[in-house]
Amino acid sequence: MLDALRRAARNAYHLLLIGYAAALGAGLGLGSALWVLEGDYPFGERRAQAWLAWPSVGSPQSDPYARAILARSADVPLALGEGIAFHAYEDELGRPLDARCRYAISGETPVARAWTLTLYDPDGRLIETPQRRPGLTSAEVLRAEDGAVTIALAPDPQPGNWIQLPGSGGFQAVLRLYDSPVSGALGWLDDGAMPRIVRLSCTGEATS
Superfamily name and number for 46-202? Domain of unknown function DUF1214, C-terminal domain (2.60.120.600)
Residue ranges of domains in the chain: 1-38, 46-202
Instruction: Please list the pLDDT of the chain residue by residue as tens digits (208 residues).
Output: 656 555 655 665 556 656 555 554 444 444 433 333 344 554 567 788 899 988 766 554 555 544 444 444 445 455 555 788 999 999 999 999 999 999 999 988 888 899 999 999 999 999 999 999 999 999 999 998 888 899 999 999 999 999 999 999 999 999 999 988 776 555 556 666 889 999 999 986 654 4
Contact yes or no for 83/178 (Cβ under 8 A): yes
